[in-house]
Amino acid sequence: MVNLIAFDLTHVRYEDGDSLGKLLALVTLAPVFIFVGLFGALLARREIQYATFMVGIVLNDLLSVALKKVIQEPRPPTCVQLEMCDSYGMPSSHSSYMTFVAVYVALDLARHLNRYPNCDLIKLLIGGGVWPLTASVMYSRVYLGYHSPPQVAAGAALGVAAGLAWHVLTHRLHQTAYPVLEASCLCRLFAMKDSCHIEDVHTFEYNNALRARRESLQTQQKSEPIGYCSAGKIE
């Protein structure tokens, strides 16, 4: 008989009838939702910073997996019911992932506020909301029986250290490497850009869109034949 194993990325179990466990089973999938959201934002915005953030997340996760293979500490006894005893638990990759994201986002927001005090409310909400979400994910890993408290704490420490190191590295490379990347053939092919130097990106894009619309209308008006009457023109 073929031995089957579960794909543990989304294979989350909780006790039947446990409402809190059901909620935490959803919360513990936050890393998946975050990465999918970041990938969607990267496709929509084409920002180099989003790409480097995602690279950092992947490297942090690979480091966590490598440490598990080196330390080889088993998961708690509840792994039997969860069918997860074939994998190691030290450190918790979920905790490492979430603290990495929380630290990176917090430091990036602090740097942005230092340069541009008039930060929009959405960025403040994201920066503040990521910490309760991180704590909830860490708690869910213990509550659902996937990790012991020391394994979660070790993952959190790893994520904090990695998030801090990655932010320092990318911040130092921002002034030198980002312009080079922006001018590279790959970034030009996919229209990748760096907008970190713009205080209010939304207002900047809005004004440019209006300016392009006015120029387009002016071009159309100049090309219209004499005597042609066009209704609904925008002045």
Mean pLDDT split into 10-residue runs, the chain, 235 residues: 50 82 89 92 86 94 94 88 84 95 89 62 70 94 92 96 93 79 82 76 79 82 59 46
AA identity, residue 135: A
The pLDDT, as a whole number, for residue 191 is 79
Residue 160's nearest CA partner among 51, 75, 60 is 60
CA distances for 74 relative to 22, 120, 146, 175, angstroms: 25, 45, 10, 44
With 0-12 CB in 10 A as exposed, 13-18 as middle and 19+ as buried, what is 159? Answer: buried
pLDDT of residue 81: 83
For residues 146 and 36, the answer to whether their CB atoms sit within 8 Å is no
147: left (phi over 0), alpha (psi -120 to 50) or beta: beta
Cis peptide before 117 (omega within 30 of 0): no
What is the structure's pLDDT at 83?
76
Structure tokens at 65: 């997996």
pLDDT of residue 233: 46
Which residues have C-beta within 8 Å of that of residue 148, sequence separation ≥ 6?
A: 75, 76, 89, 142
Distance CA 73, CA 150 (A): 11
